Amino acid sequence: MKTLADLVPPDTIVISGDNQKWRYQADVLESSRKFHAAGGKLVRLEFPRTEVQWYGDVAIVWSSYSLETEMDGRSTPEDGRVTEIFVRRNGHWTNPGWHTDSGK
């Protein structure tokens, strides 16, 4: 969990097309903890198309994605698009924001 907390800093903002509530670092860490505690697994994660724009210590990553999770023996596929912001702080890359929309 420490690695995720280092990558997703306190000022994180997450917007998802299927969720009206914006989420923050505490929400991301809690949902990850719950997913893991319930036995959830990320089975597959692919980025069929990705483009990156660099602006010094900021990178904006535009991607399409395809993933599959598993919980209680049930597989759930998801496809969509994601825009992510990466910022280099103190020599390390962090991911303080992203927006997803799924093709559900």
Topology of the domain comprising 2-102: Nuclear Transport Factor 2; Chain: A, (3.10.450)
Secondary structure of 45-98 in HEC code, one letter for each residue: EEEEEEEEEEECCEEEEEEEEEEEEEECCEEEEEEEEEEEEEEEECCEEEEEEE
Contact 23, 16 (CB under 8 A): yes
Q: Distance between CA 74 and CA 92 in Å, rounded? A: 36
Mean pLDDT, consecutive 10-residue segments, the chain of 104 residues? 86 91 96 95 97 98 97 95 97 96 76
Which pLDDT value is given to residue 104? 58
Q: What is the pLDDT of residue 18?
A: 80
Q: What is the pLDDT of residue 2?
A: 76
Amino acid at 30: E
So what's the pLDDT on residue 1?
65
Decide: pTM greater than 0.85. yes
For residue 94, the model assigns a pLDDT of 96
1 close to 30: Cβ distance less than 8 angstroms: no
